[in-house]
Amino acid sequence: MDTEHRAQARARAREEAGRLAAQGIVGAALTWVDNAGLTRVKAVPTARLEHAAEWGVGMSPVFDVYLVDDSMTTSRHVGGPDGDLRLFPDLDRLTPLAAQPRWAWAPVDRYDVSGREHPVCQRRFAHRMAERARERGFDVLMGFETEWVVTTADAPESALRYPTAGPAYGMTRLVDLSDYLADLLDALQAQGLEVRQLHPEYAAGQFEVSVAPADPVGAADLAVLVRQTIRGVSAQHGLEPSFAPAVTPGAVGNGGHLHLSLWQGDRDLCRGGDGPCGMTATSEAFLAGVLRALPALLAVGAPSPASYLRLEPSRWAGAYQCWGPENREAALRFVTGAPGDPGGANAEVKCFDQAANPYLVTGAVIAAGLAGLDAGLSLPPPVAGDPARQGHERRLPTSLSAALEHFEASDTLREALGDPLFESVAAVRRAESELFQGASAQDITAATRRRY
């Protein structure tokens, strides 16, 4: 970072700090997401935002090899107590938090003390992959679905208590928690988010919210902001949300489905072509690359041992490596959209969950899709119906260790991530697999339910 850049950041932050202070905001939460999928934070007083924007906030790089239980592992490039990084807030994303009225939030990019990009910064990785797509002549729009299970805040681990007994997608559940959900809508909209849907989901006490798509980095930022807003509103209502892949053993878990579409200007490349379901050749090859890479991508998008308690057949989790138009059992669902609905056509990756770092997810999916373009791939025949009932052979990995084998064999993901980030991700996956080796489903859910 040069002197001019620092001076511009300082001047911008001075203006923003004045705006925040006028609203009674006393602090800014500066967040990043580690390789275990946990959102970490350093907060600064509003008056200190100017210094943070110019010089960054110090943080140890060792968090890149922290595990879900806050123990740590090591890797060839990252590990141990040495070194320091600087967290620089993205002031374009600075947002007053409606559910935490005296706080603001901003995501950070991470640099070393010399001002060079930290090679393990997941957010910078997502930036680089989005730029690669633009260099190929198109933009990628993405959006995450956020699912969560809400329980009463005083519920013990042994007997979770749900604030509603309403059925899946039932109006009863919305009525029971009408004030809570209305406050959530108010908070999201006050923060400038365009909410597309909010509804009860399948599992007990489960809901889902989706917001408008954005660029890949913006989509990941929004995934973080939506979750923290849900936390804030839940706390105000004496409730506790869980975004964990599995909340109760044997029940449907929380997904983190990723929607994506490719665009050239105003043209949606997912429609108007001669390929399957009207896809253009670019869209088909991109999605074929994503489909091909799914076994390796699971180590990014389904990164916890708890993920594989969720990733079961016949639960709309996408347990099979196949695609199909509007098929909610396929790992890759193609959403055709209503005729004439601009932007209605897109693809949904269903096998991911919210233990994932969303910046790693967006970047890795783009890398896989671009590899499909380079190889000129075509999609295989689509699958209709439940593949589990058809003896479909392409079951995705059923454990984190199996997904890790595919990840470590992926030259595409290694090249895209770079050795320091690739190897730190692998180290965390290996260590968490070992951490829960031999653990029961009950033990895994209990250990991870309140971590995500």
In whole angstroms, what is the distance from residue 216 CA to residue 107 CA? Answer: 14
Query: Please, are residues 354 and 254 in contact by the beta-carbon 8 Å criterion?
Result: yes
Average model confidence (pLDDT) for the chain? 96
C-alpha 81: how far from its chain's center?
28
pLDDT, position 451? 95
In whole angstroms, what is the distance from residue 126 CA to residue 317 CA? Answer: 25
Best CA proximity match to 373, nearest among 94, 188, 140, 64:
140
pLDDT, position 155? 66
In whole angstroms, what is the distance from residue 252 CA to residue 134 CA? Answer: 37
pLDDT, position 14? 97
Domains (range + CATH), the chain:
3-118 (3.10.20.70), 128-448 (3.30.590.10)
Q: What is the dihedral angle through the alpha carbons of 152, 156, 157, 161, rounded to the nearest 10 degrees?
A: -40
- pLDDT truncated to tens, each residue of the chain (452 aa)? 678 889 999 999 999 999 999 999 999 999 999 999 999 999 999 999 999 999 999 999 999 999 999 999 999 999 989 999 999 999 999 999 999 999 999 999 999 999 999 999 999 999 999 999 999 999 999 999 999 999 998 767 667 899 999 999 999 999 999 999 999 999 999 999 999 999 999 999 999 999 999 999 999 999 999 999 999 999 999 999 999 999 999 999 999 999 999 999 999 999 999 999 999 999 999 999 999 999 999 999 999 999 999 999 999 999 999 999 999 999 999 999 887 777 789 999 999 999 999 999 999 999 999 999 999 999 999 999 999 988 777 999 999 999 999 999 999 999 999 999 999 999 999 999 999 999 999 999 999 999 99
pLDDT, position 391? 77
Query: Please, are residues 25 and 102 in contact by the beta-carbon 8 Å criterion?
Result: yes
Which pLDDT tens digit goes with each residue over 47-68?
A: 999 999 999 999 999 999 999 9
pLDDT, position 340? 74
Contacts of 8 (CB under 8 A, 6+ apart): none
Neighbours of 67 (CB within 10 A): 22
Please tell me the pTM assigned to this model: 0.97
In whole angstroms, what is the distance from residue 283 CA to residue 270 CA? Answer: 6
